[in-house]
Amino acid sequence: MSNVKVLEGSEAVALAVKACRPQVISAFPISPQTHIVEGLARLLANGDLNAEYVRVDSEFSAASVISGASAAGSRSYTASSSQGLLLMSEVLYASCGLRLPFVITGVNRTISAPISIQVDQQDTMSLRDCGMIQLFVESSQEAYDTHIAAFKIAEDPKILLPVMVCMDGWVLTHSYERVTLSAAGRGGSFPACLSTGGFFGCEKSQDVGIHRGGGNVDGIAIFRPTGHAVRQGKDQGNFRRVG
C-alpha cells in the first residue's frame, strides 16, 4: 500500500496528530481551523483514534482543558485561529510559565475589525512573546511532518514548552496536495504517553528550572528566573530557518 496520499491540508494535520497518539483533544470550531478538529472527531468515531475528545464552550476553555490535561501528564492537543487564539492568550502565557508541553495548530486568519476571514498572521504573531515555540509551515507536507516533530520538541526534557504549528488558513487547510506519510503516520512506534510525567511528577523539572507554583503569588526572586528558564528552553531547540 502506497504511503503517498492526496490530502486536504487539514486532513494531513489530523492524521499527523493521530500518529502522535494524543490522550486529550479539546475542540471548538472557528474557520478556517474547523476541518482539523472535525477530522480528529471522525477518526475517533471510526475507532482509528483513542483519546478523550472534549467539546468545549470557547477557545479559552479549549486552552484550559489541554493545559490541565498536560499538567496531569497527558499528551494534549487543540487547534484554533484568529480571535480564538486571542481568547486563549491568558491561558497560553500561564502554560508557558508552567512549562506544559502540549501542541496547538494555529491556523492563520485576520483579526477584526473589519471582520474578515482572509489569511493573515497577526493572530499567531500576537502570541510571539508568550514563551511558546512557533513553527511556520509552507505546505501540507511540512504541516504533516512538523506536527509530528512538534510533540517531540514540546516533550523534550530540556525544552518542555507548548509548541504551536502555524499554517495559513484556506491556502493550506483547504487545498489538496500529495503528502507522504511517515513511519509514525503508518502506525510506527510513537511513544504512548508523556515521558515527562506531567506537572506533578516531572523528574526533569529541576534540570530546566521549572517552578511548580500553580496559583500562588510569587515575588521577583521566582518570577525572573522562571522567565529566564522559559527562554533557555526555547534556546535549547536552536531553531532557525533552513533553506
Amino acid at 61: S
Q: Are 148 and 135 in contact (CB under 8 A)?
A: no
The helix or strand, by DSSP H or E, that contains position 223, with its residue range, turns out to be helix 220-236
How deeply is 186 buried, as exposed, middle or buried, from its count of CB atoms within 10 A (0-12, 13-18, 19+)? exposed
Look at residue 143 and tell me whether its pLDDT is greater than 50. yes
* Per-chain mean pLDDT for the chain: 87
pLDDT at 202: 45
pLDDT at 183: 74
pLDDT digits (tens, 9 = 90+) for 4-49: 999 999 999 999 999 999 999 999 999 999 999 999 999 999 999 9
Cell of 188: 510506527
Which ranges of 82-211 does DSSP label H, i.e. alpha helix?
83-97, 122-125, 140-155
C-alpha separations of 89 from 66, 76, 103, 159 in Å: 13, 17, 14, 20
pLDDT at 218: 65
Cell of 184: 509514525
* C-alpha 53: how far from chain center: 15
Angle between helix 83-97 and helix 220-236 axes, rounded to 10 deg: 110
52-55 β-sheet, strand order: 52-55, 24-27, 76-81, 103-108, 163-168, 133-136
Percent of the chain with pLDDT over 70: 80
pLDDT digits (tens, 9 = 90+) for 56-115: 999 999 999 999 999 999 999 999 999 999 999 999 999 999 999 999 999 999 999 899
Q: What is the mean pLDDT of residues 145-156?
A: 96
What pLDDT band is residue 206 in, cutting at 50, 70 and 90?
very low
Q: What is the mean pLDDT of residues 194-200?
A: 54
| 55: region left, alpha or beta (phi > 0 left; psi from -120 to 50 alpha) | beta
pLDDT at 208: 42
What DSSP line would sit under 180-197, residue for residue? E--TTTTT----SS-SS-
Q: What CATH number should be reported for the domain whose range is 4-179+196-236?
A: 3.40.50.970
Q: Where are the domains of the chain?
A: 4-179+196-236
Q: Are 179 and 7 in contact (CB under 8 A)?
A: yes
pLDDT at 34: 98
